[in-house]
């Protein structure tokens, strides 16, 4: 049992020896599954045969039974996966930001070593031009996104997501042209974003998409020479602890994720024995793992460690504590942020009302031991404090923060007392998200509805902002939904409040500027659109809106410049 479950040392050595025998560096494929729970994976013990393709892949892979995300949101989690850095260092949040150009980045490093690099993503959330994942395309020769956001007054319908089968078809078409060179391919599948009633069927759809990609590798006879990592960016609550989807809480339903590594083999017919690793591992470990497989030096700034080294250690000594953080409560709602620390059998959650769970006796985290086990609570809290202090003073600084000049421009429009958000998550004062999860559910659901059903979003959000006007995400979503209906004056009021609550939200500035164009307030529109273009340099609609505003103010040369930038950014979409 020890050989099979914890160590798998002989199997790991077989993987390493066959890998070392390969004549050249392997191809690399990273498959990320959005919102995918571990308890739906057959290879992790689920019943019902929902994942036959993943189960077969797991049969020749190293399976990490206790893998954990460092964030419960797609944008931040993928920044962590691709950079090997904790959320404090990525500069990203779920409401936006820009990946730091100084941060070591997996595709950039692999491209510099001669790998062809390509990304195929399923959601506008990960579109570097039209979504919040600004800077994610660094190092990718091909970044296939090209989604169309909802734009004020636009005639064309938005395109904000693709099914997994469509994403894989695009990736396979790329492979048909590039499979003869060494490549790194990232494929993101988000079929599992669905209500609880249909969640199982979407898991099966995601699994089928993975199967299509594996079959394409086999048809091209490159499967044996390709290393494949499959991981979920986060899970899905499905009502656990009162949370409908994900983004707020840090319990296992959203943080414990499936993760497997299939190594390349030296011989086409050789298959490593399936190996299971019980030690805790993290998504921050994925980038260093892929670099080690590719025999590329791991930069010292990367904060994860190779999963293969953890597996090879084969003992409890490699079972490191796991950190996770949720920034949406803070940035989206103005509540307390949440941090968690998993060590040994315990889960500690730092919140205004502290939480401590013994996950061995209480895997569902339903019995809070914070009051009855004070010594354990204090030990876990001290460990988390020490971890937080290990980051530099600037680590929590958001890449979205405004300059003093930008803040002065906003002051000229009457915005007073603006406070930029602190990225530091150590403070737990204020509202506990546990007490407001029903409100969060309503706002997050309305945000999804805003894309296709603005009337329902408006009906859901008006009573929410009436009860509490200080919820950024509610004000922003209500403003954009009203704009979809052409109610620009009313929309501008709510977006003004959104900017007041989150002045560093480039998307709030864009939406506000675009709406002020409709109402004829061109001077104010320019201020907001200049901020938006400065923080969303790849977003062509912001440049076009700014050009239009300049035209109205007879700033012809400035308008020409912004139109040229719009053309440049549009042509950069690959």
Ordered DSSP codes for 364-402: T--S--TTT-HHHHHHHHHHHHHHHHTS-TTTT--TTPP
Same-domain pairing of 23 and 119: yes
Assess if residue 394 is contained within a domain: no
- Cα separation, 193 vs 234, whole angstroms: 11
DSSP code of 117? E
Question: What is the three-class DSSP state of 64?
Answer: strand
Same-domain pairing of 50 and 138: yes
- Cα separation, 5 vs 257, whole angstroms: 18
Same-domain pairing of 537 and 507: yes
Q: What is the CA radius of gyration of the chain?
A: 24
Assess if residue 315 is contained within a domain: yes
Task: Give residue 432's domain range.
Answer: 404-572
- Cα separation, 386 vs 271, whole angstroms: 43
E strand or H helix at 559, and its extent? helix 556-572
Q: In Å, how far are 108, 144, 357, 359 from 229, measured between CA atoms?
A: 18, 20, 31, 27
Instruction: Kindly compute the dihedral angle of the four CA atoms of residues 94, 98, 99, 102, in this order, to the nearest 10 degrees.
Output: -150
E strand or H helix at 65, and its extent? strand 62-68
For residue 263, how many other CB atoms are within 10 A of its CB?
23
Assess if residue 397 is contained within a domain: no
- Cα separation, 243 vs 2, whole angstroms: 37
Helix, strand, coil percent values for the chain (each to nearest 5):
45, 15, 40
Same-domain pairing of 418 and 350: no
Same-domain pairing of 92 and 235: yes
- Cα separation, 69 vs 331, whole angstroms: 19
Domain end (from 266, 293, 320): 320
E strand or H helix at 279, and its extent? strand 275-282
Same-domain pairing of 295 and 192: yes
Same-domain pairing of 488 and 504: yes
Question: What is the three-class DSSP state of 526?
Answer: helix
Spatial contact of 272 and 15, defined as CB atoms under 8 Å apart: yes
Q: Residue 366 maps to which CATH number? A: 3.30.1120
Angle (nearest 5°) at CA 438 between 432 and 444: 100
Quote the pLDDT of residue 480: 94
Assess if residue 398 is contained within a domain: no
Question: Among candidates 233, 237, 260, 267, which has minimal Cα distance to 249?
Answer: 237
Same-domain pairing of 39 and 77: yes
Quote the pLDDT of residue 94: 87
Assess if residue 529 is contained within a domain: yes
pLDDT in tens, the chain (574 residues): 333 333 343 444 444 433 443 347 899 999 999 999 999 999 999 998 999 999 999 999 999 999 999 999 999 999 999 999 999 999 898 888 899 888 999 999 999 999 999 999 999 999 999 999 999 999 999 999 989 887 766 777 889 999 999 999 999 999 999 999 999 999 999 998 777 989 999 999 999 999 999 999 999 999 999 999 999 999 999 999 999 999 999 999 999 999 999 999 863 333 456 799 999 999 999 999 999 999 999 999 999 999 999 998 865 556 789 999 999 999 999 999 999 999 999 999 999 999 999 999 999 999 999 999 999 999 999 999 999 999 876 655 566 789 899 999 999 999 987 876 655 544 678 999 999 999 999 999 999 877 678 899 999 999 999 999 999 999 999 999 999 899 999 999 999 999 999 999 999 999 999 999 999 999 999 999 999 999 999 899 999 999 999 999 999 999 999 999 999 886 654 4
Q: Residue 277 maps to which CATH number? A: 3.40.720.10
Question: What is the three-class DSSP state of 182?
Answer: coil
Tokens matching residue 265: 């083999």
Domain end (from 320, 340, 372): 320
Assess if residue 85 is contained within a domain: yes
- Cα separation, 450 vs 51, whole angstroms: 32
Same-domain pairing of 256 and 357: no
Residue found by looking up tokens 């299971």 in the block: 276
Spatial contact of 236 and 203, defined as CB atoms under 8 Å apart: no
- Cα separation, 536 vs 527, whole angstroms: 14
Domain end (from 320, 350, 378): 320
E strand or H helix at 112, and its extent? helix 106-112
Q: Residue 449 maps to which CATH number? A: 1.25.40.10
- Cα separation, 429 vs 431, whole angstroms: 7
Assess if residue 151 is contained within a domain: yes
- Cα separation, 27 vs 181, whole angstroms: 8
Same-domain pairing of 373 and 411: no
Assess if residue 288 is contained within a domain: yes
Hey, which residues does 228 pair with through a beta bridge? 29, 262
Tally the domains of the chain.
3
Same-domain pairing of 340 and 421: no
CA quadruple 345, 325, 109, 571: dihedral positive or negative?
positive
Tokens matching residue 547: 């050009």
Q: In Å, how far are 381, 385, 462, 555 from 426, measured between CA atoms?
A: 11, 8, 32, 46
Same-domain pairing of 455 and 520: yes
Hey, which residues does 259 pair with through a beta bridge? 231
Question: Among candidates 41, 89, 60, 56, which has minimal Cα distance to 388?
Answer: 89
For residue 280, how many other CB atoms are within 10 A of its CB?
21
The crossing angle, in degrees rounded to 10, of helices 556-572 and 540-552 is 170
**Which residues, at least 6 apart from 13, have a Cβ–Cβ distance to it below 8 Å?**
312
């Amino acid at each position: 049992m020890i050989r099979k479950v914890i160590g798998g040392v002989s199997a790991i050595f077989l993987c390493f020896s066959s890998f070392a025998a390969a004549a050249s560096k392997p191809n690399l494929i990273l498959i990320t599954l959005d919102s995918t729970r571990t308890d739906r994976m057959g290879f992790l013990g689920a019943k019902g045969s929902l994942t036959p393709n993943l189960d077969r892949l797991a049969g020749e892979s190293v399976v990490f039974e206790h893998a954990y995300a460092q964030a419960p949101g797609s944008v931040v989690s993928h920044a962590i996966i691709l950079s090997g850095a904790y959320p404090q260092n990525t500069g990203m949040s779920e409401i936006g930001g820009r990946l730091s150009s100084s941060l070591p980045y997996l595709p950039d490093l692999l491209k510099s070593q001669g790998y062809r690099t390509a990304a195929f993503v399923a959601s506008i959330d990960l579109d570097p031009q039209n979504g919040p994942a600004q800077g994610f395309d660094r190092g990718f020769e091909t970044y296939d996104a090209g989604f169309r956001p909802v734009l004020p007054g636009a005639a064309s319908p938005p395109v904000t997501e693709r099914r997994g089968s469509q994403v894989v078809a695009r990736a396979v078409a790329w492979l048909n042209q590039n499979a003869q060179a060494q490549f790194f391919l990232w494929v993101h599948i988000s079929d599992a974003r669905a209500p609880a009633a249909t969640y199982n069927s979407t898991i099966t759809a995601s699994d089928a998409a993975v199967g299509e990609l594996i079959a394409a590798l086999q048809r091209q006879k490159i499967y044996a020479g390709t290393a494949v990592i499959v991981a979920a960016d986060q899970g899905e609550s499905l009502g656990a602890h009162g949370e409908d989807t994900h983004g707020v809480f840090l319990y296992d339903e959203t943080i414990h994720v499936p993760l497997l590594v299939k190594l390349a083999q030296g011989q086409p017919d050789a298959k490593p024995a399936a190996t299971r690793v019980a030690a805790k591992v993290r998504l921050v470990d994925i980038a260093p793992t892929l670099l080690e497989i590719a025999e590329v030096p791991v930069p010292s700034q990367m904060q994860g460690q190779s999963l293969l080294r953890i597996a090879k250690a084969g003992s409890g000594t490699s079972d490191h504590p796991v950190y996770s953080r949720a920034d949406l409560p803070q940035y989206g709602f103005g509540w307390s942020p949440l941090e968690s620390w998993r060590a040994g059998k315990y889960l500690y959650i730092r919140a205004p009302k502290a939480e401590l769970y013994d996950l061995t006796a209480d895997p569902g985290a339903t019995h809070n031991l914070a009051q009855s086990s004070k010594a354990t609570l204090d030990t876990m809290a001290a460990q988390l404090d020490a971890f937080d202090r290990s980051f530099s003073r600037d680590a929590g600084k958001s890449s979205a923060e405004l300059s003093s000049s930008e803040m002065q421009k906003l002051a000229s429009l009457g915005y007073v007392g603006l406070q930029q958000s602190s990225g530091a998550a150590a403070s737990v004062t204020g509202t506990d998200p546990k007490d407001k999860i029903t409100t969060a559910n309503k706002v997050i659901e309305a945000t999804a509805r805003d894309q296709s059903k603005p009337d329902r979003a408006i009906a859901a959000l008006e009573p929410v902002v009436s009860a509490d006007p200080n919820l950024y995400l509610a004000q922003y979503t209500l403003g954009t939904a009203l704009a979809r209906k052409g109610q620009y004056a009313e929309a501008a009021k709510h977006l003004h409040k959104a900017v007041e609550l989150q002045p560093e939200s480039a998307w709030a500035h864009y939406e506000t500027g675009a709406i002020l164009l409709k109402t004829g307030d061109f001077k104010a529109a320019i201020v907001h659109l200049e901020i938006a273009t400065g923080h969303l340099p790849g977003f062509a609609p912001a440049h076009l809106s700014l050009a239009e505003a300049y035209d109205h103010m007879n700033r012809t040369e400035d308008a020409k410049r912004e139109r040229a930038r719009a053309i440049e950014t549009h042509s950069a979409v690959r």
